[in-house]
Structure 1
Amino acid sequence: MKLKEMQILIVLISMLIFVTRAIDSQFYTVFKPHDGKYPCYRQPAIVTTNQERTHLMVFAEGRFVTSCAPPLENRVERDNLPNEDGGLEMRRSEDSGSTWLSAQTVYTGNIDFYTVVWDSTSNTVYLMLQASSSVLLFISHDEGITWSDPTPLNVFPPPPFSKSIKSAVGHGIEVPFVCTNGSSHTGDNGSCPSCYACVLKSEMPEKNQNRQWNFTGIAQQYTRESQLVQTINMDAGTSHIYLNGRNFSPVPGHRYFARSTNGADQFTEFGIDSSLIEPVTKAWTGVVCSIERISINPSRILFSGPANATVRSNLTLRLSYDEAHSWSISRILYSGLSGYSDIAVVSDGKNVALVFENGEETFADRISVAIVPVSWIENNKKNDNKKL
C-alpha cells in the first residue's frame, strides 16, 4: 500500500472510531437515499424566502445511481459511470428549520448544477437549473409552493467563451441587484482547464417588467463552482463583491478568490487563499463550499467547507471580521465524511442554517440541515463536542 493511501485509510478509520458534531447545534436529515424516490441525493442548496427569515427552502439533486459516492473515495472510471438522470427535489420549512414539509419535485430529467436566489422586493424565487445542455429559469411567487414553466436562460457570454453557460451550486445574493453564480468555458466540452467562474446579474427592473439577466464578471481561469458575498466599503456609490471558487488548477487544494469594486461587473483582484483548504482526492478535485454574510455591524462573513487535504471530511465553519481577507475563527461542525454545503442566515441572525452532505460510509449517505448558533461559532471552548 502506498504511503498516501495508508494516510487516507488512517484518517477514515479514526473518523469511524470517533465522529463528532457540534453539541449546541440541531441536526435534521432532510434527504435520505432509498426513501422511495431516489437511491442518491447530492448537491444541496438552501435559501430563506421571507423578510423575517423564518421560511426556508432546501434543495437536492436526486439521482438514479447505485451509489452516491465511491466507498473510501475510490476513483470511478468515466466509462463506467451510471446514468445520472433524476430530478430536483425541494423541501420547505416555515419555522426556521425546526420542521420540514414533505418533498416536492421541481423538475425531472437529465439535470446537473443549479443556483437559487430570493428577490425580497417582489417576493420571488429565481431558480437556474442546468438541464442537459441548457440552463432553465424557474420562477416562484409563493415561496416554492408552485413554479412557473421553465424557460431557457438566453444569456450568451462574449468571445472567446463558448455560447453555453452553466449554473453553479448554492444560493445567490441580493444587493439590491440580484447576482447568481455560474461558469463559462473557452472550450466546447465545458471542462477545466477551460473553465472560468462567472456572474449572472440582474439590475432592478422597472415596474411591471420582468428581470433581465446578463453575463458580467469573470473570475480567473481554473475556477468553476463559486459563491458570492457583498463586502463593506467606505464608498457608498459602489458595491464591492467577493467571489470564492473551487480550484481546478494544476496546483489545487486551496480556494480561489476574486474581488470586484463595481458590483461584479468586472473582477480586478485575484488570488488563492492558502488558509482555506479543500480536499483533493483520487476521485475529485476540490468541492463546493459556501460563503454568506451573517452581519454588517460587526462585519462577519461565514465560510463552510471540508477542511481536509485528502478526504472529503471535517466540515468546518470559518469566520472573518475583515471582509474575507483572513479567517480568525475556525470551528469543526462535523468531523466525519462530508462534502458540499450551503449557508443561510435565519430569523434574527443569531443562527445560521447549513445544509451539507455527510455520512459514515461515504460523504453522501444523507443530506442534513444543521441549525447553528453564531455564538457557538464564536465560542472557542474546546470541550463542546459529542459523539453521534
Structure 2
Amino acid sequence: MTVRWPTPYDLATGLVTGVAPPDAAECGPLRVAPTALSPLAALEAAVLPALRRPPCLLSFSGGLDSSLVLAAAVRVARREGLPDPIPVTWRFTGAPRAYESPWQDEIIRVLGLGRDWQILTADDDLDLVGPVAGRFLHRFGVLHPLNLHLHLPIVELAAGGSLLTGVGGDQILAGWRRPGPASLRQAAGRLRVGMRRRQPATEMFPWLRPAAARQVRRAVRAEERAEPDRLAERIAWHLRRRDLRTTVACFSRVADAHDVRLVQPLLDPVFAGALVGWAGRRRRPTRAELLTGVADAELPAPVTAARRKANFLAVFLRDPTREFVRHWDGQGVNEEVVDPAALREVWSRWPIPECTAGLVQHLWLRQNPPASSPWPAPRMEVSP
C-alpha cells in the first residue's frame, strides 16, 4: 500500500483498488478524531493557507464540491482582507452531458466574482491523447486519475501561487457507491435484478485475460462490501483508499513541478474531524444533509442546491483517441493481463470503455516518447 503511482496492472484494468490497513502509519488511524469546530469553520481554516499565497486559483466546475469550496474561500478572503480566489472554469464543445454553464453563472453571480473569472474553452484539446494530454504525458508520464491533464493549464496559471480544488468531495461528502434500500421490498427487488444482471467477469472486462478479469472484479466487489455505514468510519476508510491517495499524490506532483501550493480542503484532517464531531455517528447521511450542515445557512442557497451531476467522458474521448485506437498495431501491452486481440475488438466500437483509458495513454506514450525528458518517471510496480 506504499505505492502512490498507478501500476501497469492499474492501467491494464482501468481501476485503482486497495485499502490500507487501519494501522498503516502513513494512512492514519481507524477513526478520524472529532473536533469541536463547526464544519464550516474547519473548511474556512482549511482554505486560508491557499488564500495567503496569491494568486489563489480555484478549479471551478460549478459542481457541488467546487462551489462549496469557492463560497467558503470567498467568505474567508473578504473577512481577512485578502484577494478573492480566482475561479478557473473549462467549457467544452460537443459534450452536452458536461454542460454546467447555468450553475457556473449562478454561483459566480451570487458570489460577485464575475470580474476575475477565468474561462478556458476546449474542443479536442483535452482528449486522452490530445495536445494538453500530450504535453502532460511527456512531462509526467501516465498518472491517476487519467483526466488529471485537464488541470495542467490551471496549474500553469497558478504558478508561484496556490490552487484550491474540490477533490475528495465524492468520497468525504458522498461515498457509498449505492445508497441502501429504503424498504425490504426494494432490497428484494435489487437482489432479483442483480441476479439477472450478474455478468461473467470476462464480459465486464472483455479485454483482460480471464484470470485478471476475475481478480479485478473480486477486488471491486470487496471494496463495495467493505465501505462502512457510519460516517466516522466511512471517512477514515476513504482516506485510506489507494484510489484517493494516488489521486492526491499525483496531483501534488504536478503542482510541485510548477511551484504551486495545492490545497485540497475537503480532505483536510481538521475538516474531516469537524464532520465527524458533528455527524460522525449517523449512518449513511445523504450528500444533501452533509452539505446543508456544512453551509449552516451561512452560504448562499445556490451553492448547495441540488443539481444534475455532469458526465465528462465525451470531453476526453474525441478524435485523437478515436484515430489512435483505430490504428493501434496490437503491440505494447502486458499479454499476461491483456488479450491484444480482444482489446482490438473492444476498440473497434465507439465509444471505447472508460476503463481502457489508461491503456490508451500508456500505448500512445510508448509510440510517441518525448524527445528528451529531464523529469524522471515514477517508480512502477508490476503486481497489483
- Higher strand content, 1 or 2: 1
- Higher helix content, 1 or 2: 2
- The structure whose Rg is larger is 2
| Structure number with higher relative contact order (C-alpha < 8 Å, ≥ 6 residues apart) | 2
| TM norm. shorter chain > 0.5 | no
**TM-score, scaled to structure 2:** 0.25
